[in-house]
Amino acid sequence: MSRVDKEKSVNVQVLLRCRPFSDDELRSNAPQVVTCNDYQREVAVTQTIAGKQIDRVFTFDKVFGPTARQRDLYDQAIIPIVNEVLEGFNCTIFAYGQTGTGKTYTMEGECRRAKSGPEGQLPSDAGVIPRAVKQIFDTLERQNTEYSVKVTFLELYNEEITDLLAPEEISKVALEERQKKPLPLMEDGKGGVLVRGLEEEIVTNCSEIFSLLERGSAKRRTAETLLNKQSSRSHSLFSITIHIKEATPEGEELIKCGKLNLVDLAGSENICRSGAREGRAREAGEINKSLLTLGRVITALVEHLGHVPYRDSKLTRLLRDSLGGRTKTCIIATVSPSVHCLEETLSTLDYAHRAKSIKNRPEVNQKMMKSTLIKDLYGEIDRLKAEVYAAREKVGVYIPKDRYQMEENERKGMADQIEQMTASLETNQKQINDLQEKYDSELQHSADLSKKLEATEKCLDHTSNLLSTTKEDLKQAHYNLKEKEFIISEQKKAENALAHQACVLRSELEKSSRDNASLHSKIARGDKLSAANRSVVNSFQADLASKLDILSSTLTASIDQQNKHLKAVEDLCQSCVDSHDTATLEIKKKILASKSLYMSHMEAFQNIVLLHKANTNSTLEDVSSLSAASCCSLDQASSMC
């Protein structure tokens, strides 16, 4: 696939809808094994394997749980698809799942219009088909343009196609013949298929389509099984073709065509559990066979196999353009939450999850000129007239039955050859696409190399500029280096001059140091002299203090002795007072004389003490003056240092 095709391709959109529990399942209390997460678009299935509970999680484009309404599914997923049909695309919506999971309910629902409302509103349980029909007509009426709508409704039962919109009178008259010879499925020459003889009903409003839908649904083959009381035993395809007239700015009229295919598949079922017997079992076998072919087609498309078995079933031939073709496709997978349907639920989820990887290449239908469409319609009318005339007049070509069978066998052989050639062509196309991819990758690689070369050239230019800049910087650095060398030489000269001055200063400092040393020696001698003086003063003070102590003790002893003498005298006087008054007077005189002597001694002692104090003070003053002189000499020496 080329890069352009990859850009145009889109994945098939897959929706998952889980129905609620049925009344029988609620009465039997069936365990729930399916859990839906609408917001994360995930479905979890719980299963028990070897005694262990395992959850398998599947992710889809949209997930609708048991509580989701018909309107929710349609508004979120189907409205954009119908809008694309009105834009000129071919779109397909089909429901896929086990029988009894709500496929027909999802696609058709309640088709009858509600009686309330002037415009006949749809009931709440109306399905995808009636809602799509109403949206189409509402949109066309709002556009206020010319349009035409055609519908077809066919049934595929046991690999036979039946027209569900065939007129009632024809159906009753030729019922047996129709059953013997079903409608043929033919190639249209454009890669698609068409059903020859299929009735196309032109409709003008919703009511007509609803009537046709009810009429066709009533003809569908249904039967009661253990899984579904009204199980569809056939596949149905309801197609709506829309032609809308548009006018170009030049005034030319064009016809835009869009087609919506709405498919309700019969449900896959387990024959043993569904209770099918004899004819019903054969029906179930045909249903499962066509669905199995559909599964093989999905697998082949997902794994990009060379051969896709579209022709193995009429169902896959009808859906060929919807799976890997030019149609936008939406698959609605329906499952049951009950544990009784676990196997079929897992099978449906696996197929639906694989179908997400299918890529379609939607293309808008080419707009036709109105004159071309009219011409084609006239040609179709003429062809139909000729066929009617030939059938009525029996003037057509009639051949023997053996020859007809031989030609049919040859035609089938040619069809097989065409299929093989188609498969070979698809294989070759795949190889071409692979080569195209390789070519595109080589082109991309070449473009990447060109970009790398351009980037390298830019880097080289940048490096060259950087080199020239570096050379200029180097030249400037050499100049700066020479300048610094000159500065360094001048600094060396200045340093030599400073060294000479330092030597001179050093000699002067050494001389000053010697002077300081001599000064310090003088100060040391002064300190020694001061210390000697201090020792002399201290010894003198100690001697003086000892002498004063001795003198004080002597005086104290003398005073004590005098006091003793006085007391003795007083005692003697006291003893002699009474006898000798004269002696007393004499004694008093002697005492007075002794007192005067004592006072004179005391004055002399005080004079001696004062004299010693004066001598001591003068000595201290001499010492202080000597110390002051020493301090002055020390200060002068310090200032000189």
Which residue ranges are tagged as binding site?
A: 97-104
Q: What b/e sequence results for 309-324 when a residue is b if at least 16 CB atoms lie within 10 Å of its CB, and e otherwise? A: bbbbbbbbbbbbbbbb
Phi, psi of 182 (to 5 degrees): -70, 170
User: For residues 198 and 186, what is the distance between their CA atoms, to the nearest angstrom?
Assistant: 12
CA 128, 133, 138, 139 torsion-angle sign: positive
Phi, psi of 480, deg, nearest 5 = -65, -35
Whose structure tokens read 């890997």?
324
**Element (DSSP H or E) covering residue 332:** strand 328-335
- The 3-state DSSP class for residue 156 equals strand
Closest alpha carbon to 38 in 62, 20, 69:
62
102, two tokens: 């709500």
CA distance to 331, 551, 597, 614, per residue, from 605 (Å): 149, 9, 12, 14
User: Crossing angle for the helix pair 128-143 and 79-86, nearest 10 degrees?
Assistant: 40
CA angle 14, 20, 25 (to 5 degrees): 130
- How many CB atoms sit inside 10 A of residue 356's CB? 17
The Cα angle at residue 383 between residues 380 and 388, in degrees rounded to 5: 125
Q: What tokens appear for 481 in the block?
A: 């280096």
Q: Residue 208 has which token pair?
A: 């007509």
Distance CA 234, CA 69 (A): 26
Beta strand 328-335 pairing with 13-18: parallel
Residues annotated in a binding site for ATP: 97-104
Identify the DSSP state of 312: G
3-class DSSP state of 20: coil
The Cα 269–Cα 344 span in angstroms is: 8
Q: Which two tokens stand for residue 619?
A: 């000595």
Q: What is the CA radius of gyration of the chain?
A: 66
Place of tokens 């330092």: 502
Question: What's the DSSP call for residue 110?
Answer: -
As a whole number of angstroms, the distance between CA 595 and CA 598 comes to 5
Residues found in the chain: 641
- First-residue to last-residue Cα distance in the chain: 107
φ, ψ (nearest 5 deg) of residue 46: -100, 125
Q: How many CB atoms lie within 10 A of CB 636?
A: 11
258 C-beta neighbours (distance < 10 Å), count = 22
Query: Between the CA of residue 8 and those of 4, 15, 361, 363, what are the distances in Å?
Result: 6, 22, 6, 9
